[in-house]
Structure 1
Amino acid sequence: MGDKAHAHTGAAGRAATADRPSSIRNVVLVGHSGSGKTTLVEALAQTAGAVNRAGRVEDGGTVSDYDEIEHRQQRSVQLSLVPVEWGGYKINLLDTPGYADFVGELRAGLRAADAALFIVSAAQEADAVAGTTRAVWEECAAVGMPRAIVVTHLDTARTSFDEMTRVCGEIFGGDDPDAVLPLYLPVLGPEGPDGHAPLTGLTGLLTQRVFDYSSGERKETPPSDDQHAPLQDARNRLIEGIIAESEDETLMDRYLGGEDIDIKTLIDDLERAVARDAFHPVLTAAPAGEDGRQGIGTVELLDLITGGFPTPLERPLPAVTTPGGALRPAPSCDPDGPLVAEVVKTASDPYVGRVSLVRVFSGTLRPDETIHVLGHGLTDPGHEPRPVHEAEVRVGALSAPFGKQQRALTSCIAGDLACVAKLGGAETGDTLSAPEDPLLMEPWSMPDPLLPLAIEAHSKADEDKLSQGLARLVAEDPTMRLEQNQDTHQVVLWCLGEAHQDVALDRLRTRYGVQVDTVSHKVSLRETFAGPSSGRGRHVKQSGGHGQYAICEIEVEPLPPGSGIEFVDKVVGGAVPRQFIPSVEKGIRAQAARGVAAGHPLVDVRITLRDGKAHSVDSSDAAFQAAGALALREAAAETRIQLLEPVSEVQVLVPDGYVGPVMSDLSGRRGRVIGTEQSGAGRTLVRAEVPELEIGRYAIDLRSLSHGTGRFDRSYARHEPMPPQLADRLREQQENTANGA
């Protein structure tokens, strides 16, 4: 790192390729929105020679040109792949959205990668860095994924590399801040009118050489006299940090004994420590200039990726089972082994159709071969995934994306990634394997979408296309859930946030040609009797011809919550003939399902049939059904009907500093806090029961309240009586809506 040859090994216009897993590096870029991930990817591509000096690909676009929605919304909304070559290695750069609503794309990037670059803007507040990236850092730590940190935007006024390095050590270092240390110090030019000095180069702490970019090209020079003191302090700390993580137990004793450890040993130990996730170097980078100047720090970063990050051979692969659930040995990353691959992302191209981004874990994927596609499908939260779709399909063309271009590939070996066109009905998360030995990979975790979006087709023409468009939308994005609510008769898209909703509506309109209208989301209310009552249903029509005759008398009494509808027959003396007792029950249950007051299903009552009358000729099944329904409506008119609202059990995980505001906010939503408990260092889990009417937008409100650091999940607990004043207000709103007010 710092003493290697740096010839451009990529070639603009040619797809980067790899002939063995050891020459592949899969790296995901993680960071807050606006931290500079996409700009850094473009700079790395230019330094690697994958684009021309102006940072453009052949069609005049850039490597980040991927989705029209991203251009319209002015933000990254999906995972994109940019493959480059450097020093004989193929590097797959996976650029992820930084906005919290698109965490599903981030999780897909983590699945496809073997190492992560955390991009931190020096212009950000420390709280923003901690809130948006610590959770992802902990996810990577849990699976032992190697990580490095890149500080950007040092060319912004009032920024400090030293301060940001200190913040990163506190946030990411945990109990060992010396495991998060810089490899290079920034070299600053003369101060400008705003008092800020621009970044002109880097000083390598191990090599003690300055890499000067001020001319537009990277030039190596010795450090000046005024650079020696800060260099030595930082260098000594770095060497001690490397030696502390060294696998050579004698190295520390030799160093403390005064031995001058040679640079090659230190670099080798550093690379091994990074690869096994024991050390997290901090680097800095600045984008390429519009005049074609090379991006600062890009060479050093590419060297770190190829020298310090692991190959696919070194990363453990996800667990694999048969379609029946039997555990199989984890596949090895062998191009000659059995095929095991996974769809990590699904997108739609206006010309090609559905395009799948595939990570090959074992074997080799080739065009025109027949493979088995097996998917987990959708599952309810808390339940194990279950295969619900599988098929044998023929592999279409393989390609490597580069901006809007797709560069053809002849194969994709184990450890590599490629785009596959027309892969049948394959969805994100599906496993690809050999037809003679179908396999299923363990799914990666996805957040549960908790923000509802109720939609209606704008016109009859849109209605015909809506179901297909929604099905394709959900197949592409596993963080989106479709619900056809049987109680409210609404079509609901559950999303992760407002930006996620905007993208869903945009895709429906532009990709699938479906115009929809958004409507207020309704929760599933219930009705019950507040007290006992009775009713008489009389359905008599005898004006000529075959008449209708049925009379029944019922008593209704409330039951404990969760009892449902209980029907009891206590007719004596045959007042209602036996063959019509089921008819009365059917009519009562049908009316209960429609509701008796505000149109919500009736629950938790016992309905007893006491008496009635029949006619030897005019009585019928239909007549007694109608009489039963009338009797229930009359009983409802004689007492107070209570509205029941659904209550959810909510679990909110937040840093300790936000526990008070969160609990206060939940109380303001008519919530009952059940308790709190510690959940890891500095985080608290708050448990509460909250009416669903009050948490429709909680996904947005919690993000604002906790500065993006909190997350929650919810599950249905029960229905409870709604406060009378709120129930009256709801009834008034329904009446106004029904009257067209």
Structure 2
Amino acid sequence: MAGKANAHSGAAGRAAAADHPSALRNVVLVGHSSAGKTTLVESLALASGAITRPGRVEDCTTLSDHDEIEHRQQRSVQLSWVPLTWNGIRINLLDTPGYADFVGELRAGLRAADAALFVVSAADGVDGATRLLWRECAAVGMPRAIVVTHLDAAGADFDETTRACRRELGGDDPDAVVPLYLPAHGERRADGSAPVTGLIGLLTRRLFDHTDGTRTERDPDEAQLPLLAQARNRLIESIIAQSEDEGLMDRYLGGEDCDVKTLVEDLEKAVARGVFHPVLAAAPAPEGASQGLGTVELLELITGGFPTPEEHGIPPVTSPEGAPRPALACDAAGPLAAEVVKTSSDPYVGRISLVRVFSGTLRPDETVHVSGHGLADRGHEDHDVEERVGALSAPLGTQQRVVESAVAGDLVCVAKLGHAETGDTLSARDTPLLMAPWEMPEPLLPVAIEAHSKADEDKLSQGLARLVAEDPTMRLEQNPDTHQLVLWCMGEAHRDVALERLRSRFGVQVDTVEHKVALRETFASAAAGRGRHVKQSGGHGQYAICEITVEPLPGGSGIEFVDKVVGGAVPRQFIPSVEKGVRAQAARGLASGYPLVDVRVTLVDGKAHSVDSSDAAFQTAGALALRECAAQATLHLLEPVAEVEVTVPDDYVGAVMSDLSSRRGRVLGTEQAAEGSTAVRACVPEIEISRYAVDLRSMSHGTGRFRRSYARHEPMPRQQAARVREAAGSPESTR
């Protein structure tokens, strides 16, 4: 950080694991796609000596079994872990995908980290998704800093980007978002732009020059001093405003010159408390250089200003049964409490779990208790089992290095935990614990799939189980109404990655088919019908006649069967047979092949034969009677209606309400959500919102989110119903 010694740890410290939480920093990188997060991680790894040349960041990452997918899609699709060491401090960098479909990976990174680096491109500025994530981090008090990248891009402006960050991210206290350094520019090019050649430390008033590819320190040029003085005064005032030393402001206003050491200490404390958010600049190292612009300064901020795991706190814990347990501390000697934040598979090693140790010390070959609850609806069944921990490892250099233990606050890879899934808690056998889960978004894009061949069908179940076990943002559903196998995803990119993982990792090829919604039928008016099943062809015959009436019932009533036969016209033993036949026909459907619901069927009369009547005959007669009723009446096609709540920034409320209306939705109301956001509640037919997760993201530029829940079935409009019946090969109506 500004004013600190510029020690370079080099590669010597890479192999040593942290032995105390105070020697750890866990940092997650957050930002939209193409902001430069992965490039920044590579620059930091190069500056620290974790890698020896650019382009080899994969040498110090783990869980990178999807590199082929990432190269093909030209985007990160998974959480990556890069450990490095600086000034004797172990830094665990967590690089997260910037695309909204992979928000589950982002939330896993937020769970495992104690501070966040928001990466903002000087060419693109602050997008809406970054604003939302900033507010989420603010809500839980996570310390944050901002790194501005792409300084040499066309139209890039560090000062304007900093002002945008103050405006968009500063909230009620924009003065807490202040740069620590100013870019120094070289000679102007022909197009009028000037390359960034160094950084000027505002507190030290020193220039860190990278003109010749190496970092050298000197005094700034005379022409830079006026701008430096103005920015320095603003920074000092912001630091003092957040200082815990109440007398510092009085001394400053009284004309006393605050020494740099005091300012740096107060700055670091304010950053660690999450009330001050410094802005830095960074650029990759040029060819042949070992340090990129701003990497040393950023590493010093991380080691000096970001909190240790001891300072950040631990999520609350209970027993697996839900009984409260005392709050834990980040103590290597405390009870074991660790969490699986990411699960992946290696074709040679098998399942690999990335684990954050919150309390205690995790050691190889010990037996731990694995608790997992809360996501059974997504294919993650509740379980309380004991498993033996396999080898512990961390990516160091070009290979996975075995580590002897992982202390509280550290990250580690654990091999071959057969039952542990993402979000599960690892604890001691004698004191099993369950950590409060982190918020996981609901997958809202349905993808109906079928096995491509018989060979794929044999492997499909196991492949899907492993896929869902690794990704809690995915939900697998065997729809009982449509009989489709549905994979619920976050978006189209998430879908593509899931299907590619099935193919490349689990050897299962699937085909996507049109997703169906659970339509139903009901009677629009009362009707009567007669079912006659009489056959005589020698030997034992079949004889059953029954007369029924059908009348519609309110939604949600199901099928109600009433017996009003008098005089024994239908013998008592055959009345259940009529009901069974009616219900079987109702399940098969009438006009369009969709289940019949919400009617009362009344058996009023019939005839039987002393010899030829049977259970099967009366079942058939009951079904025929119901079909005759349908032939004489108008049937309504019922469609499922969902109640949705769409939360968007105020600027998009009008567009969202108009779009919902175009989807045959009925807006129920609006209410203020978070600052600058509005929640719109509406009822919308489910057939109209199959792709709403994708459409809303496009409409709101990635800032909108929504929830849905089944409300009821309602009659489908006549024209829409006619199209559905035509597609099913049925007449528009039956009378």
Report the TM-score, using the length of structure 1 for normalisation. Answer: 0.96
**Partners in 2 of 1:233 and 1:65 — Cα distance?**
49
- Residue equivalent to 1:507: 501
1:144 matches 2:141: yes
1:557 matches 2:551: yes
Matched-pair contact (CA < 8 Å) for 1:596–1:602:
yes
Q: 1:685 aligns with which of 643, 665, 679?
A: 679
1:273 matches 2:267: no
- Residue equivalent to 1:4: 4
Matched-pair contact (CA < 8 Å) for 1:38–1:64:
no
Q: Alpha-carbon deviation of 1:626?
A: 1.6
- Residue equivalent to 1:114: 114
1:261-300 mapped onto 2 (5 Å cutoff):
261-300=258-297
Name the amino acid aligned to 2:313: P
SS at match of 2:457: helix
Name the amino acid aligned to 1:557: E
Matched-pair contact (CA < 8 Å) for 2:377–2:475:
no
**Partners in 2 of 1:403 and 1:502 — Cα distance?**
31
1:600 matches 2:604: no
Name the amino acid aligned to 1:512: F
1:713 matches 2:707: yes
Change (3 A) 1:59 1:146: closer
Q: 1:478 aligns with which of 463, 472, 481?
A: 472
- Residue equivalent to 1:524: 518
- Residue equivalent to 1:437: 431
- Residue equivalent to 2:123: 123
Matched-pair contact (CA < 8 Å) for 2:10–2:50:
yes
Query: Could you give the per-residue CA deviations for residues 206-252 of structure 1, whole angstroms, max 9, x where no partner exists?
Result: 01100011122211101110010010000000000000000011111
Name the amino acid aligned to 2:369: H
Matched-pair contact (CA < 8 Å) for 1:550–1:627:
yes
- Residue equivalent to 2:194: 197
SS at match of 1:551: strand
- Residue equivalent to 1:427: 421
Q: Alpha-carbon deviation of 1:109?
A: 0.2
Name the amino acid aligned to 2:582: I
Choose 317-326 or 56-65, whichever is displaced more: 56-65
**Partners in 1 of 2:333 and 2:207 — Cα distance?**
45
1:670 matches 2:667: no
Choose 131-140 or 47-56, whichever is displaced more: 47-56
1:304-453 mapped onto 2 (5 Å cutoff):
304-380=301-377, 388-401=382-395, 405-453=399-447
Name the amino acid aligned to 2:426: L
Matched-pair contact (CA < 8 Å) for 2:443–2:490:
yes
- Residue equivalent to 2:616: 622
Q: 2:567 aligns with which of 569, 573, 598?
A: 573
Q: Alpha-carbon deviation of 1:590?
A: 1.4
Name the amino acid aligned to 1:19: D
Query: Could you give the per-residue CA deviations for residues 509-568 of structure 1, whole angstroms, max 9, x where no partner exists?
Result: 101111111011100111000111111112222212222222111100111111111100
Name the amino acid aligned to 2:340: V
**Partners in 1 of 2:60 and 2:254 — Cα distance?**
59
Name the amino acid aligned to 2:174: P
1:144-223 mapped onto 2 (5 Å cutoff):
144-223=141-220
1:721-732 mapped onto 2 (5 Å cutoff):
721-732=715-726
**Partners in 2 of 1:355 and 1:646 — Cα distance?**
41
Q: Alpha-carbon deviation of 1:583?
A: 1.2
- Residue equivalent to 1:68: 68
Q: Alpha-carbon deviation of 1:293?
A: 4.3
1:588-667 mapped onto 2 (5 Å cutoff):
588-667=582-661
**Partners in 1 of 2:342 and 2:518 — Cα distance?**
34
1:244 matches 2:231: no
Choose 63-72 or 268-277, whichever is displaced more: 63-72
Query: Could you give the per-residue CA deviations for residues 355-393 of structure 1, whole angstroms, max 9, x where no partner exists?
Result: 000000011111111111111152459xxx997112111
**Partners in 1 of 2:10 and 2:213 — Cα distance?**
19
Q: Alpha-carbon deviation of 1:6?
A: 3.1
**Partners in 2 of 1:504 and 1:518 — Cα distance?**
12
1:463 matches 2:457: yes
Change (3 A) 1:595 1:558: same
Identity %: 75
Change (3 A) 1:64 1:731: closer
Name the amino acid aligned to 2:104: G
1:48 matches 2:48: yes
Query: Could you give the per-residue CA deviations for residues 679-738 of structure 1, whole angstroms, max 9, x where no partner exists?
Result: 12211111111111111111111111111111111111111000001100111111199x
Change (3 A) 1:591 1:15: farther
**Partners in 2 of 1:464 and 1:568 — Cα distance?**
45
**Partners in 1 of 2:562 and 2:58 — Cα distance?**
78
Name the amino acid aligned to 1:494: W
**Partners in 1 of 2:377 and 2:304 — Cα distance?**
43
Matched-pair contact (CA < 8 Å) for 1:398–1:419:
yes
Change (3 A) 1:52 1:63: farther
Query: Could you give the per-residue CA deviations for residues 404-423 of structure 1, whole angstroms, max 9, x where no partner exists?
Result: 73221111110000111101
Matched-pair contact (CA < 8 Å) for 1:10–1:16:
no
Unpaired segments ≥5 residues, structure 2:
none
SS at match of 1:328: coil
Matched-pair contact (CA < 8 Å) for 2:61–2:395:
no
Q: Alpha-carbon deviation of 1:195?
A: 2.1
Query: Could you give the per-residue CA deviations for residues 302-358 of structure 1, whole angstroms, max 9, x where no partner exists?
Result: 000000000000012111011111111121111111110000000111111110000
Unpaired segments ≥5 residues, structure 1:
none
Change (3 A) 1:692 1:59: closer
1:584 matches 2:581: no
**Partners in 2 of 1:65 and 1:529 — Cα distance?**
55
Matched-pair contact (CA < 8 Å) for 1:333–1:361:
yes
Q: Alpha-carbon deviation of 1:292?
A: 3.2
Choose 4-13 or 214-223, whichever is displaced more: 4-13
Q: Alpha-carbon deviation of 1:62?
A: 11
Query: Could you give the per-residue CA deviations for residues 414-469 of structure 1, whole angstroms, max 9, x where no partner exists?
Result: 00001111011210000000111111100000111111101011111111111111
Query: Could you give the per-residue CA deviations for residues 99-154 of structure 1, whole angstroms, max 9, x where no partner exists?
Result: 00000000000000000000000110x4xx23120111111111100000000000
Matched-pair contact (CA < 8 Å) for 2:59–2:395:
no
Choose 620-629 or 19-28, whichever is displaced more: 620-629
Moved >4 Å (runs of 4+): 57-66
Name the amino acid aligned to 2:35: S
Report the TM-score, using the length of structure 2 for normalisation. Answer: 0.97
SS at match of 1:290: coil
**Partners in 2 of 1:625 and 1:327 — Cα distance?**
56
**Partners in 1 of 2:388 and 2:578 — Cα distance?**
57
Question: How many residues are aligned here?
Answer: 731
Name the amino acid aligned to 1:130: D
Matched-pair contact (CA < 8 Å) for 1:375–1:431:
yes
Change (3 A) 1:15 1:306: same
SS at match of 2:354: strand
Name the amino acid aligned to 2:70: E
**Partners in 2 of 1:616 and 1:590 — Cα distance?**
25
Name the amino acid aligned to 2:24: I
Choose 393-402 or 421-430, whichever is displaced more: 393-402
**Partners in 2 of 1:141 and 1:324 — Cα distance?**
31
Name the amino acid aligned to 1:647: V
SS at match of 1:341: strand
